[in-house]
Amino acid sequence: MNDERTINIGLMGLGVVGSGVLRIIREKARVLAKETGRNLHVKRILVREKGKDRGVDVNPAILTSNPDDILDDPTIHIVIELIGGVEPAYAYAKRAIQAGKHLVTGNKDVMAEHGPELLRLAGERNVDVYYEASVGGGIPLIGSFRSDLVANEIHEFYAIINGTTNYILTRMSREGAALPAVLADAQRLGYAEADPTKDVEGIDAAFKLAILTSLAFRTHVDPGAIYREGIMQLEPADFRYAQDLGYVIKLLAVGRQDNGRYQAAVYPALVPQAAPLANVDGVYNAVYVVGDLVGNVMFYGRGAGSEPTASAIVADVIDVAHNIISGVTNRIPYALDAAKTLKPMAEIESRYYFRLWAADRPGVLAKIAAVCGTNHISIASVIQKEADPVDRTAELVFTTHAANERAMRDAVGDIEGLDVVKRVAGFLRIADVGETA
């Protein structure tokens, strides 16, 4: 369809999300046509393998494995990129914008690494780039940071933005199970990939955090510079002790502003049981935001899946279609140029939890307390948990008051060097994230 009442779409990718998008766009096109008199029409679809059965009703004549059929077609107004990965998705996205096409994408890798460049280019070419689905699937986050919360200075936010790790941590917490067994189960059920590295090492969360931090603090954030710790070192004992102390363990992506600098880090942390984030379980995602005007807000929902993600993509497409109909672009500019620098992890302040195995005899606690004192670490609590009579060792669990990260690391290093200490078995930050009243 090439008449001026039709808005033509080139869909790149017809996988989990693309097939959901195709189905929903057809339904929503009827509503848009009724409201505006314009038709939304998926003109071409790019795939790798044209003959594959995709479980979705599609005219084989519109399938192509040649990206030029979309990128060089002057009648296509909107490109939806749902290929995934950086290349060739980034090259296609750039070409689409250069050719004067609007871009809707769910690609966190491209937007975290090349988002600022693509957004700048889109401004120059007078086209729109929308990427709501790139973080948190169907949860409205990008639009909220970009426009709904724009009157606020965002002080900080805490996000659970990786469903795979949240599923694993939830099950470890509930069942007392060890990580390898739960991970294997998650792989069997399709919640974790065969190679789970990107999820369990916090890489996926760091990419999403880069996107959110850029928007929240209006500055360019390099995903590679984000401090990151994964979940593989967590043991069932950590979950038991966290619970005894009134916490749960969550993999958090944290963004915080601090005097012209910002913190962006991904790490597993103890979250107070009374905090709303503590109850975000399974594959659900949530972002808890603290703004100067709005106070505390939490966004919660399904962070992945065909329909929730397609919901975000199709909403973006409809927004772009409205912009085309109204003859406007870049209604809400992305200003990611604030001169803010990343605060080194060594300079952050936090409360900490650590546990260790030490000789079960008098005077040991005094030695550990002395090391903490020398490093300016103030111990908040200490509990003796287990004892091994054969080995004559005992397990001690400590929490601290707020301390500097470098000082805490130095203290743990010194404690590990004590002759009475066998090993420091767990080390986690305690997140003072808002609690319910």
Ligand X SMILES: NC(=O)c1ccc[n+]([C@@H]2O[C@H](COP(=O)([O-])OP(=O)(O)OC[C@H]3O[C@@H](n4cnc5c(N)ncnc54)[C@H](OP(=O)(O)O)[C@@H]3O)[C@@H](O)[C@H]2O)c1
Q: Which residues bind ligand X (CB under 6 A)?
A: 13-18, 46-49, 52, 82-84, 88, 106-108, 133, 137, 304-305, 309
Q: Under the phi-then-psi rule, with left for phi > 0, alpha for psi from -120 to 50, and beta for the rest, what region is 376?
A: left
Q: What are phi and psi of 265, to 5 degrees?
A: -155, 150
Using the CB atoms, write b or e for 14-51: b if 16+ within 10 Å: bebbbbbbbbbbeebbeebeeebebbbbbbbbbbeeee
Smallest distance from the beta carbon of 13 to ligand X, in angstroms?
3
Closer CB to ligand X, 18 or 196, in the complex: 18
Query: Which amino acid is it at 288?
Result: Y
In whole angstroms, what is the distance from residue 271 CA to residue 436 CA?
12
In whole angstroms, what is the distance from residue 45 CA to residue 193 CA?
26
Q: What are phi and psi of 119, to 5 degrees?
A: -70, -40
In whole angstroms, what is the distance from residue 138 CA to residue 117 CA?
25
In whole angstroms, what is the distance from residue 42 CA to residue 62 CA?
9
Smallest distance from the beta carbon of 89 to ligand X, in angstroms?
7
Smallest distance from the beta carbon of 427 to ligand X, in angstroms?
31
Query: Which amino acid is it at 290?
Result: V
Closer CB to ligand X, 207 or 262, in the complex: 207
Closer CB to ligand X, 17 or 397, in the complex: 17
Assess whether 208 carries a catalytic annotation.
yes
* Pairing assessment for the beta strands 39-46 and 63-64 based on DSSP bridges: parallel
Distances (CA, A) of 334 to 145, 287, 306: 11, 21, 27
Closest alpha carbon to 283 in 186, 164, 189, 194: 164
In whole angstroms, what is the distance from residue 320 CA to residue 328 CA?
9
In whole angstroms, what is the distance from residue 416 CA to residue 414 CA?
5
What 3-state DSSP class applies to 83? coil
For residues 382 and 226, is the Cβ–Cβ distance under 8 A?
A: no
Smallest distance from the beta carbon of 114 to ligand X, in angstroms?
13
Closer CB to ligand X, 108 or 355, in the complex: 108
Closer CB to ligand X, 14 or 206, in the complex: 14
Closer CB to ligand X, 162 or 393, in the complex: 162
In whole angstroms, what is the distance from residue 26 CA to residue 198 CA?
34
Smallest distance from the beta carbon of 307 to ligand X, in angstroms?
9
Smallest distance from the beta carbon of 87 to ligand X, in angstroms?
8
Closer CB to ligand X, 86 or 151, in the complex: 86
Smallest distance from the beta carbon of 309 to ligand X, in angstroms?
4
The secondary structure of residue 337, as a DSSP letter, is: B
Residue nearest to ligand X (CB): 15
Closer CB to ligand X, 55 or 327, in the complex: 55
- Catalytic: which of 43, 108, 208, 343? 208
| Token output for 338 | 């604030």
Closest alpha carbon to 96 in 79, 112, 117, 109: 79
Evaluate the omega torsion of the peptide bond into residue 362 and state whether it is cis, within 30 degrees of 0: no
Smallest distance from the beta carbon of 266 to ligand X, in angstroms?
17
Task: List the catalytic residues.
Answer: 208
